[in-house]
Amino acid sequence: MENKTKYQEYMKIFLEENSKVNLISKNDEKYLWEKHVFDSLAIENFFEKFDTSKIKTILDIGTGGGFPSIPIAITYPHLKVTALDSIAKKIRAVQTIKDKLNIENLEPICTRVENLDAKFDMITSRAVSSLKNICEYALPKLKKGGYFVAYKSRKTPQEIEEANSILKKYNSKIVDIIEYSLPLEENHERNLIVIWKNKQSFRVSLCYNLIADKRG
C-alpha cells in the first residue's frame, strides 16, 4: 500500500491522542486498522468506479476522531478535505494529528454543519445518524452534480425507504450501493451508499420531460 509508513505513524499518533481523548473505545484500539482505517479507505471503491476528476473539495460530517477524513486526506493529497465536528476536544485531536503528520490538505473545523456557508464537490459521513437525518444535513451543502457517500451497515433497506422524501426534496438520488467487508473474523459487511445531486433543478427537469413528451 502507498503511504504505508505514514499510516503506521498515523496510527501511533492516533493511539497517543486516544489515551487523552476518547476517540474510539479502548476495546477497539487493537482493531484500529480493521474497524476504522480500513473502513475509511473503502472510499477507494467509489473513486475507482466513478468519474471523480471534477472533485476538488470534500466535507466529512461528524468526523469524530478523523474517520474517514484523515485517511482520505492522506490517500488523496490533491483533494482539500474539511473535517467537521461539533465536539471541540475531538477536533483538537484531529488538529494535533494533522500538525504532527503535516497533512496540508486537511482542515479541521469545530462547528455544526448548518453553520457552514460553503458548498462542496463531495460529502462523506460515517456512523453519524440515520440516512434520512444525515441527508437532511448533507445535501444542502452539496454542489449540484456532486456526490454524497454515506458509510452504512448492510442493514439499510428501511433507512433508504425513509430517506426517499429527503432525496426528492433536494433533487438527489441513490446511484449505487457499494458492498464491502471489513477484514475481521466476525461478519462485518458494510455499504457505501452513493447519492448524486442532480445538476438541474426539479422544475427544469420537469420542463424538459414535458417538452420531450410533447415532441414524442
Q: Give the CATH number of domain 4-215.
A: 3.40.50.150
| Rounded-to-10 torsion of CA 163, 164, 165, 170 | 90
Residues 143-192 pLDDT 10s: 999 999 999 987 778 899 999 999 999 999 999 999 999 998 776 899 99
- pLDDT at res. 201: 61
Query: Which positions of the chain have pLDDT values less than 70?
Result: 1-2, 187, 201-216
Give the span between the Cα atoms of 167 and 197, in whole angstroms: 9
Full 3-state SS string of the chain: CCCHHHHHHHHHHHHHHHCCCCCCCHHHHHHHHHHHHHHHCCHHHHHHHCCCCCCCEEEEECCCCCCCHHHHHHHCCCCEEEEEECCHHHHHHHHHHHHHHCCCCEEEEECCHHHCCCCEEEEEEECCCCHHHHHHHHHHHEEEEEEEEEEEECCCHHHHHHHHHHHHHCCEEEEEEEEEECCCCCCCEEEEEEEEECCCCHHHHHHHHHHHHHHC
Give the span between the Cα atoms of 65 and 75, in whole angstroms: 17
pTM over 0.85: yes
CA angle 24–29–35, rounded 5-degree value: 75
Contact criterion met (CB below 8 Å) for 142 and 148: yes
Name the grid cell of 193. Answer: 451508499
- pLDDT at res. 210: 43
Cell numbers 470534500 correspond to what residue?
A: 58
